[in-house]
Structure 1
Amino acid sequence: MRWSQMHIPTLREDPTEADAPSHRLLLRAGYIRQLMAGHYSLLPLAVRVRSKIIDVIREEMNRIGSQEFSLPALHPAEIWRRSGRWDIMGEEMFRLRDRRGADLALGMTHEEIFTTLALELNSYRDLPQMWYQFQTKFRDEPRPKAGLMRTREFTMKDSYSFDLAPEGLDRSFDLHHEAYVRIFSRLGISAIPVEASSGSMGGAASTEFMFPSAVGEDFVVHCAACEYAANTEKATARLEPSTDDEGLAVPERFDTPGVRTIDDLAVRFGAPGDRQVKTLVFVLDDQLTLVLLRGDHVLSEQKLADATGATTLRPAHADEIRAALGASPGSLGAVGVTDLPILADEALRGRRNMFTGANIDDVHLRGVDVDRHISVGTWADLREVAAGEPCVRCGQPLQVQRAIEVGHIFKLGYKYSDALDATVLDPTGARTRVIMGSYGIGVERAMAAIIEGHHDDRGIVWPMPVAPFHVAVVVAQSDNTTVAEAGEQIYQQLLAERVEVIIDDRAERAGVKFRDVELVGIPLRITVGKRTLADGVVEFTDRASGQTDRIPLDQVVEHVRKAVDLAR
């Protein structure tokens, strides 16, 4: 490929609208252009990188015996209604109607659609099956951001496993786990497998692959001592034993004028946050519910949804709260409440001599014994883990760091086979449900994550396996016939050796060409100039290290070939 003929619209300045390094560099280096919020055109360089990412993923999927499909992106509503997710997905699902008035959706994911194909599996002899595809997904993100990191339209590798029994699912899950470890290693993404919530996907277990990054939107809890790792929606920490004094036989009221927060009560009335019972009011599937946490802890709404199985969840409105409890937030409590469900975080179990609201404005209670004075219906782990808390496994301090989710694998179980009646004949001749798994990687997000981990102040530094070209031949003086012919000869020799090469033959200054090659991130650069040619050599520069060597002309192709092979 010739730079003079290829569309690479590099920019001299950083785009003002870009914040994350990957977003800034993809725009500046001429890889993408925004059409509208959350929708990007991939330009020729990005198409080449995307294709290489897909090739790596495809090779590893094929390696574990998965088979490639291509399914429609437009789905009938009926299938989603049968699984129960037509309503659960809410406003993030793009919905439309055809000319006949039929409800349709642009696919966010393909569990339902792949399961309809699995209806043709008839016998246990047809199992196990692992199927995958690369398909465009659509999600109406309320706040698309960070370029390709969070978009409304993106390519997903989604794969699905179908097995006869749980032990078969375990094997399919483990195969995908191993494949994902190899994929991210080959892509140059240092991903950490972490425990995660299954969320709206359903299922018994899931693992996210998280890439630590300052621009990540997720948080990972990690123990350096024992390598425990989990998403904050799933992470737990060891609870230190409480040493509370005896509570009162009957909680005592005391006036707290103007107290509206945990800190207010702590500062003005000597009630530390860890001695307070915080009362939150949520509506779970239309049921007003009290949620109790220790005052210094933060609720994880995903943990609340997982603990209750609620498909819809929202904080209650002020008028709903006052109608049910007779007070405003800041004075709420669960003592004496018997007509509403009460969920409590495990950190409150057995706590005594606590403080909480009295359900009277500007009045609180002291001396509360949680077990005796509050009718807790359900105990669960509901809180977010904080940095420094002891690891649940080894007791060492936990770390919390930002991360980018680059992959997610789920043990779906029977959710979709039940909903869509996916069964096979077992060895006894009886009908039995198939058990499923689901496994995803966002292709463009992976591209952005690679850049987040591989860039410097001059631009992108692509790892060799995904670089748009392996090497750039830079003709330093394109108006010099001898230099131009030498550059062309090297270019043709590399093409003959099947090296992915681009020649910068533009009528530009050498400095402009060097800056563009560095910005675009091509791993190797051969500079052909009149001074070095006079000595029978060219300059060979490694983008990652910045090292430049002088290579004899007759050794250039061999030198490049070895460098490419070594970096793959």
Structure 2
Amino acid sequence: MKASQSFLATLKEAPSDAEVVSHKLMVRAGLIRKLNAGIYNYLPLGLKVIRKVESIIRDEMNRAGAIELLMPMIQPAELWQETGRWEKMGPELLRIKDRHDRDFLIQPTSEEVVTDLARNEIKSYKQLPVNFYQIQTKFRDERRPRFGIMRGREFSMKDAYSFDRDTEGLKKSYQIMFDAYTRIFTRMGLRFRAVTADNGAIGGSGSQEFHVIADIGEDAIVYCPNSDYAANLEAAESLSLLAVRAPATQDMTRIATPDQTHCADVAKFLGLPLEQTVKSLLFAAEQAQGEVALFMLLIRGDHELNEIKASKIPGMAQSRFATETEIKLACNSLAGYLGPVGVAPTVTIVADHTVANMADFVCGANEAGYHLTGVNWGRDLPEPMAMDLRNAVVGDPSPDGKGAVDICRGIEVGHVFQLGTRYSEAMGCTYLDQQGKAQPMVMGCYGIGVTRLLGAAIEQGNDERGIIWPISMAPFEVVICPMGYDKSEAVRSAVDQLHSELVAAGIDVVLDDRGERPGVMFADWELIGVPFRVVIGDRGLADSQAEFKGRTDAESQNIPLSEIKEKVIAAVQTAKQLIS
């Protein structure tokens, strides 16, 4: 391709609302243009990258035995009402009405639609397993779209859905998809981790996320450098930091702590380690009938509550912080002085594993201006229900016993779920087994954020000059920059010949025939992120030389003109082999 036949729209400056590197560079490189908050036009170069991403995804999905179809963007509300998600999804679900006042939505995902398709088309165990996938536009009405396409409202996603006879079949389908995802992100040349995750609103029994490692990532990944253990912070298991509980050595004592309402302040005031304090949090959980149920959650003073883990406590799926009135009735205290000693018997006390093994700890006295020291389980208050309630921190023991964990940031680009029968039972999606008995299909669901991958790749690969694409995602593999294309017949002839030879060899090459100055040409293509550059001019031709440079190379190389084609082909092939 020649640059004059493309549409280059590079900019010197990024828009003022661009917060992160990927957003700035995508706009400056002419990949996207904003239409509305969280909604973007994809210009030709941006679309070219998307098509390359889609090609890799399709190749690996087809290799894994998945079957491509296409489901509508507009979905009827009735299907979502069957599963209860019409009410549960909240304002992110963009609801619309047609001219007959019937309710529809713009799809954020397609579990309901594909389940409806399966229940109508699949009747027998002989038709299972099957895995359908699509690459389709989605819409989620984000409250605050930000970071360009990283958290936009409209985006492209590959979503796949497997249907099996039983749980064992689901596990096999899930592993096939997990392996396919690993190949997809490897072929894209991305540094990524697969991590254990929480299922969230989609539901199901187990899931894993794929994260591109990047400092701007919104998700914290807990991992062990010495093993394969990795989990999203929401799902990372936090072991007790105390193997056993030490015997009590202090009497429980009520001590005045005026105006000290935070654990760190209390520890400093008493001259004690923060690790000796316990933080008490009171929650109220709505019940189907009767009054709200109250739960007091206890974590060590230097730890943070993991609300996803807390929601797994029986009875706490729908909970909130207790009101001042509820706190007063249960504890006769202000929030800053809460503690588990002497609370109303209607309050369920749940302690994090570490707190459950603490001795001689400090907690609120349920009296304004006072705390208790020397508190011990069994003697001063009943043994608690013990659960994992906290966020992991750097240095925690790895759950697999292979060292200590570290934490990095990641951008979620893929997610695989074991849905089970969550949707098939709700929607009556059954098949007849070998005995002629109706059984619910067992489902899995697998998503990749297609457009989000562009932003993630740029966050991982960039420098002060622009984007550094992995070669499998770059809009072009090679750019030829002629010096005086519009003025020198010799230059034009040489570069046209090289361009034709590289195209014939299957190289994705662009020839910059715009007649721009060298500095402008070089700056544009470095901004766009083309992996390799060839420069040919009259001066080089006089010595039968061409200049060759990789995007991340410090210096260019002079290559004999007779060898430049082979040099380019070899460099492209080597770059592809390094990420295959």
Provide TM-score, normalisation by structure 2: 0.91
Contact 2:239 2:388 in 1 (8 A): no
Moved more, 332-341 or 67-76: 332-341
Partner of 1:118: 118
Q: Is 1:292 aligned to residue 294 of structure 2?
A: no
Q: Which position in structure 1 is the counterpart of 2:141?
A: 140
In the other structure, the counterpart of 2:339 is: 333
Counterpart position of 2:211: 210
Q: Distance in 1 between matches of 2:92 and 2:357?
A: 41
Matched, 1:536 2:537: no
Alpha-carbon shift at residue 127 of structure 1 (Å): 0.7
Alignment match, 2:514: 506
Q: Distance in 2 between the 1:80 and 1:536 partners?
A: 68
Using the TM superposition, give the Cα deviation of residue 173 of structure 1 relative to its aligned residue in structure 2, in angstroms: 0.9
* CA apart distance, 1:382: 1.1
What's 1:241 paired with?
Answer: 243
1:229-253 Cα offsets, whole Å, 9 max, x none, are 111111124322255442789x554
Count of residue pairs brought into register by the alignment: 567
Partner of 1:403: 410
2:26 match? 26
How many Å separate the matches in 1 of 2:35 and 2:388?
A: 43
> Does 2:557 align with 1:549?
yes
Residue 150 of structure 2: SS of its match in structure 1?
Answer: coil
Deviation string for 1:179-234 (max 9, x for gaps)?
Answer: 11111110011111111111222122111112221111111111112232111111
In structure 2, relative to structure 1, the CA distance for the partners of 1:76 and 1:471 (3 Å cut) is: same
Report the AA paired with residue 276 of structure 1: T
Q: 2 CA distance for matches of 1:405 and 1:505?
A: 39
> Which stretch of the first structure deviates more once superposed, 111-120 or 485-494?
485-494
Q: Which residues of 2 match residues 13-412 of structure 1 at below 5 A?
A: 13-119=13-119, 120-239=121-240, 240-246=242-248, 252-270=253-271, 272-285=273-286, 287=292, 288-308=294-314, 311-335=317-341, 336-371=343-378, 374=381, 378-394=385-401, 396-412=403-419
Structure 1 residue ranges without an equivalent (≥5)? none
Equivalent residue runs for 1:484-499 within 5 Å: 484-499=492-507
Structure 1 counterpart SS, 2:399: coil
Deviation at 1:344, TM superposition (A): 2.6
CA distance in 2 between partners of 1:297 and 1:245 (Å): 23
- Give, in angstroms, the shift of residue 565 of structure 1: 3.0
AA partner of residue 292 (structure 1): L
Change (3 A) 1:145 1:313: farther
Q: What secondary structure, in the 3-state scheme, does the structure 1 residue paired with 2:312 have?
A: helix
What is the root-mean-square deviation of aligned Cα atoms in Å? Answer: 2.3
Q: In 2, are the aligned partners of 1:80 and 1:112 still within 8 Å (CA)? A: yes
Q: Which 10-residue stretch deviates more, 460-469 or 532-541?
A: 532-541
Give the letter for the 1:241 counterpart. A
Q: Give the Cα–Cα distance (whole angstroms) in 1 for the partners of residues 457 and 210 of structure 2.
A: 14
| 1:251-303 deviation per Cα after TM superposition (whole angstroms, max 9, x unaligned) | 55443321211112212234543333322123434644322222222111111
- For residues 62 and 575 of structure 2, the distance between their equivalents in structure 1, rounded to whole angstroms, comes to 23
Secondary structure, in 3 states, of the residue corresponding to 2:136?
strand
Structure 1 position 388, deviation (Å): 1.2
Structure 1 residue 118 displacement after superposition: 1.4
Find the aligned partners of 1:262 and 1:117 in 2 and give their Cα distance. Answer: 55
Cα distance in 2, alignment partners of residues 130 and 154 from structure 1: 22
SS of 1:125 mapped into structure 2: helix
Q: Secondary structure at the match of 2:311?
A: helix
Contact 2:220 2:232 in 1 (8 A): yes
Other-structure match for 1:427: 434
| 1:526 lines up with 2:534 in the alignment | yes
Distance 1:285 1:445, change over 3 A: farther
- Per-residue CA deviations over 1:146-193 (Å, capped at 9, x if unaligned) read 222211111111111111111111111111111111111100111111
Cα offset, 1:57, TM superposition: 0.7
Cα deviation code 1:429-452 (max 9, x no counterpart): 211111111111101111112122
* 1:455 corresponds to 2:462: yes
Distance 2:98 2:512 in 1: 49
CA distance, structure 2, for counterparts of residue 285 and residue 74 of structure 1: 34
* Matched AA of 1:541: K
| CA distance in 2: counterparts of 1:373 and 1:105, whole angstroms | 56
Counting aligned pairs with the same residue, the percent is: 41
Whether the 8 Å contact between 1:471 and 1:526 is mirrored in structure 2 is yes
What amino acid does structure 1 have at the position aligned with 2:501? Answer: Q
Could you list the runs of 5+ residues in structure 2 that have no partner in the other structure?
none
CA distance change for structure 1 residues 426 and 534 in 2, over 3 Å: closer, same or farther?
Answer: same
Q: Which amino acid aligns with 2:575?
A: A
Confirm or deny: 8 A CA contact 1:233 1:303 kept in the other structure: yes
Partner Cα separation in structure 2 for residue 110 and residue 387 of structure 1:
38
* Contact 2:238–2:390 under 8 Å retained in 1: no
Cα distance in 2, alignment partners of residues 87 and 373 from structure 1: 45
Instruction: Sort the Cα spacing of 1:345 and 1:77 in 2 relative to 1 into closer, same or farther, 3 A.
Output: farther
Contact 1:161/1:172 (<8 A) preserved: yes
**Would the aligned equivalents of 1:326 and 1:360 in 2 still touch at CA under 8 Å?**
yes
Q: Is the 8 A contact 2:245 2:357 kept in 1?
A: no
- After TM superposition, the structure 1 stretch with the greater mean CA deviation from structure 2, 283-292 or 425-434, is 283-292
Deviation at 1:566, TM superposition (A): 3.1
**C-alpha contact 1:349 1:371 (8 A) present in aligned 2:** no
The one-letter code sitting in structure 1 at the alignment partner of 2:35 is: L
CA contact (8 A) 2:263 2:278 kept: no
- Deviation at residue 15 of structure 1 after TM alignment: 4.2
* AA matched with 1:562: A
Counterpart of 1:211, as a letter, is: V
CA 1:302–1:58 in 2, change beyond 3 Å: closer, same or farther?
Answer: same
Distance in 2 of aligned mates of 1:414 and 1:378: 31
Cα distance in 2 for residues equivalent to 1:98 and 1:374:
61
Question: How many angstroms does 1:49 deviate by?
Answer: 0.3
Q: Is the 8 Å Cα contact of residues 547 and 558 (structure 2) preserved in structure 1?
A: yes
Q: 2:11 is paired with a residue of what secondary structure?
A: coil
DSSP-derived class of the 1:45 partner: helix
Q: Deviations over 1:43-85 (max 9, x none)?
A: 1101000000011011100001000111112222222222222
Shift in CA distance, 167/555, structure 1 to aligned 2, threshold 3 Å:
same
Which deviates more, 304-313 or 476-485?
Answer: 304-313
Q: In structure 2, do the counterparts of structure 1 residues 306 and 111 end up closer, same or farther at CA, with 3 Å as the change threshold?
A: farther
Q: Is the 8 A contact 1:133 1:157 kept in 2?
A: yes
